[in-house]
Amino acid sequence: MNIPFANRRLLALSVLFSLGLISAAALAQSPSQAAGSERRWVIIVDSGNQAGEIVESCGTARDCKLRYIFKDNGRGPEILERIRYAADGTLERYAATGESTFGSSVDERFASKNGRAQWQSTAERGSTDAAAGKLYLPLQGSGIVYEAMARLTAGGKTLAMLPTGEVTRRTLTTLALGEGEQRRELELVAFSGLGLTPDFVWITRGALPQIFAYVIPGYSVTVPAGFEGLSARLIEAQKTAENQLLAGFAARLSAPLEGLSVIRNARLFVSERARLRDGLHDVYILRGRISSIQPAGAGREATQPVRELDAGGRVMLPGLFDMHAHVGRWEGGLNLATGVTTVRDLGNDNPTVQQIIDETAAGTVFGPQIVPTGFLEGESPYSARNGFVISTLDQAKRAVDWYAAHGYPQIKIYNSFPREHLRATVAYAHERGLRVSGHVPAFLRARDVVEAGFDELNHINQIMLNFLVDERTDTRTLQRFYLPAEKTAGLDFEGSAVREFIDLLKARGTNIDPTLTTFDFLRQRDGELSAAYAAIADHLPVTLQRGLVSGGMKIPNERVHALYNRSYARMIDFVGRMHRAGIPLVAGTDAIAGFTLQRELELYVQAGIPAAEVLRIATWNGAKYSRVLADRGSLEVGKLADLMLVDGDPTQDIAAIRNVALVVTQGRSIDPAAVFRELGIKPFVATSPRWEKTGR
């Protein structure tokens, strides 16, 4: 409930399971709230701190208003909702006003009468004469609509949604919580059809279920005030239920490569040199590693593989690296289907990411291999509550020790980290053998943290702020987005400040993780299709396409829109300038799995980097700066068989990187088209190559 509907589903793109239906007619339900009643939920992030609340008050049983506020990491929505329920339990009227996560205006309206409905927001408008019995799904808001959804899907009924789509529900588990007056009989339901992953909601059991809690394991819990102490039981019960859904996904959508296997007639990308190898080659795979690479047809009779696949001249690349993600259990299929076989986690709940690493290794979670980065933040009202939040140098050193002992090759320092402990913490991390990356802590510039010893900088906005802030600028606020949008267009890239900064990066060997695609929202207005995902939009389910026309920034007029567009274009150009100056880049997302990385690579080409060199960044550089180059990042004998086949030649046309025909990783073969079909996504490759048994 603490993330707007469409945005949450896009950020959590993953697996749409066939949940099945329960056959029985659902009863028409009216809200159960009595006139004058009030309900209040608190939103708790994983640190245990309250980050927001939802307060509902109802003037009558059918007329309610909600105040929803959530602030984490210096940003978040503030929305007032007004709802009138129809007699059948759907929405008769709905209105939402306020501000979105990044400050744009929220102004959404819906009205339905006698089967005719109209709706409009800053992003869309529409109408229908066939609204009877259908439930409107707001673009943003508290999530209270899940309550109507739960009632209208009772007994297994499929619920038609407005503007489009339909929802079914399945009960995953039940739980009794509390004692005496606090005792609640609950069920965890999974709503299917709203996105590419089920939406999990805890509701009370009974004829008129009420929404009780909304849990995102490892991130937040939204729970009624007074029930905060029961959060841990809800989290564990939901994790168990989710794991049961995930079980078997890998077995269903991938096949083990047991014994000697060979992919024949492939064009190999030499990632270290950023070029295609001459001629066609056969690549042999045994026990998850590349055992031999031969010219096509050489030794065909002597090798005797148990299965073979004809690549048909397709380009073979090492698996891609997403160097900036925050992993969860549900986006793994989307990563693998787009050729991402390794993900670097850039900050997470520590127990959650450790558990996902173990589950991935055991095959109970279907996803890429994970390289963890330890998260270090300072205590402040703006703190992001991932990893360790510290106040003293001793606490920072103990956190570094924990990360070193748990196999983390790198730490990430965040916005509120105390300046007085920065140099000593970086030095201690280096002493323990860890790389250091991060945001630029408030009241500092990128130059300051590079001089303090940062090995890597994350995000293009943090780099641009180097030229835009002074010692009074608090970049923990939305200023870290609005200043680059407003002022990058006017920066003198030929001036001494830019030249000296680039020289410093080169002299220190600092690498850059730009995440350009993530910042496309800086210039997107409500109602415009996101340029970041325009190339794949028509492959997505229609319900998800709604979220692609929702902007984030406050862009009041054409002049500001043009300015923000110029600033974003110059950010892209700056990445090209850094590359040409010899500054190493890595390719990361910090947004929708898989598809964002593909767009990121396109933007590097727009920045003037040759496509083949961009592919080197996404493979060789990823492995090098993750410290796994000995195992991954290139197609070499002895390395892991982490690889992909692509239709077309992405070394000439980077857009071909979307045409992934086959992925091999962790000793298994994956058909991306099959994964996409399960996700409800139209595949990008018409015909997938097939393995054939050789009979040997």
- Predicted confidence band at 18 (pLDDT cuts at 50, 70, 90)? very low
Q: Alpha helices, DSSP H only, in 247-392?
A: 249-253, 300-303, 332-337, 350-362
- Predicted confidence band at 30 (pLDDT cuts at 50, 70, 90)? very low
Within this chain, do residues 19 and 159 fall inside the same structural domain, yes or no?
Answer: yes
Residue where one domain finishes, among candidates 246, 281, 306 = 246
- With pLDDT > 70 as the criterion, what percentage of the chain qualifies? 94
Quote the distance between the C-alpha of residue 322 and its chain's center. Answer: 11
User: Does residue 235 surpass a pLDDT of 90?
Assistant: yes
User: Does residue 273 surpass a pLDDT of 90?
Assistant: yes
Within this chain, do residues 639 and 619 fall inside the same structural domain, yes or no?
Answer: no
Q: Tell me which residue range forms the domain holding 17.
A: 5-246
pLDDT single digits (tens) 633-647 = 999 999 999 999 999
Within this chain, do residues 455 and 599 fall inside the same structural domain, yes or no?
Answer: yes
| The predicted structure's pLDDT at residue 439 | 97
Side-chain half-sphere CA neighbours of 249 within 13 A: 29
Joined together, the tokens standing for residue 495 give 């001036």
Element (H, E) at 672: helix 672-679
User: What type of residue sits at position 372?
Assistant: P
pLDDT single digits (tens) 588-632 = 999 999 999 999 999 999 999 999 999 999 999 999 999 999 999
Within this chain, do residues 373 and 510 fall inside the same structural domain, yes or no?
Answer: yes
Cα distance between residue 223 and residue 54, in whole Å: 10
Rounded average pLDDT over 215-241: 92
| The predicted structure's pLDDT at residue 46 | 72
Residue where one domain finishes, among candidates 199, 222, 246 = 246
| The predicted structure's pLDDT at residue 696 | 60
* Phi-psi domain of 632 (left: phi exceeds 0; alpha: psi -120 through 50; beta: other): beta
Within this chain, do residues 242 and 377 fall inside the same structural domain, yes or no?
Answer: no
| The predicted structure's pLDDT at residue 34 | 58
Residue where one domain finishes, among candidates 183, 218, 246 = 246
Within this chain, do residues 107 and 229 fall inside the same structural domain, yes or no?
Answer: yes
Place of tokens 């708790």: 44
Quote the distance between the C-alpha of residue 616 and its chain's center. Answer: 23
Within this chain, do residues 94 and 230 fall inside the same structural domain, yes or no?
Answer: yes
- Predicted confidence band at 522 (pLDDT cuts at 50, 70, 90)? very high
pLDDT single digits (tens) 132-172 = 999 999 988 899 999 999 999 998 899 999 998 899 999 99
Spell out the SS3 assignment of 141-180.
CCCCHHHHHHHHCHHHCCEEEECCCEEEEEEEEEEEECCH
Number of domains in the chain: 3
Helix, strand, coil fractions of the chain, as percent rounded to 5: 30, 30, 40
Within this chain, do residues 9 and 48 fall inside the same structural domain, yes or no?
Answer: yes
Question: Considering the chain, what is the average pLDDT of its residues?
Answer: 91
User: Does residue 12 surpass a pLDDT of 90?
Assistant: no
CATH number at residue 285: 2.30.40.10
| The predicted structure's pLDDT at residue 140 | 87
Reply yes or no: is the peptide bond before residue 256 cis, omega within 30 of 0. Answer: no
Cα distance between residue 23 and residue 657, in whole Å: 43
Lowest mean pLDDT of 127-131, 381-385, 416-420, 504-508, name the range: 381-385
Within this chain, do residues 296 and 336 fall inside the same structural domain, yes or no?
Answer: no
Within this chain, do residues 157 and 260 fall inside the same structural domain, yes or no?
Answer: no
Within this chain, do residues 695 and 580 fall inside the same structural domain, yes or no?
Answer: no
User: Does residue 695 surpass a pLDDT of 90?
Assistant: no
Rounded average pLDDT over 107-115: 95
Q: What pTM value is reported for the model?
A: 0.89
CB 515 within 8 A of CB 596: no
Cα distance between residue 422 and residue 403, in whole Å: 17
Angle between helices 558-580 and 595-606 (to 10 degrees): 80
User: Does residue 651 surpass a pLDDT of 50?
Assistant: yes
pLDDT single digits (tens) 39-79 = 999 999 876 789 999 999 999 989 999 999 998 888 899 99
Length of the chain: 696
pLDDT single digits (tens) 665-677 = 999 999 999 999 9
User: Does residue 689 surpass a pLDDT of 70?
Assistant: yes
Question: In this structure, how many other beta carbons lie within 10 angstroms of the beta carbon of residue 35?
Answer: 10
Within this chain, do residues 492 and 560 fall inside the same structural domain, yes or no?
Answer: yes
Side-chain half-sphere CA neighbours of 337 within 13 A: 27
- Predicted confidence band at 102 (pLDDT cuts at 50, 70, 90)? confident
CATH number at residue 344: 3.20.20.140
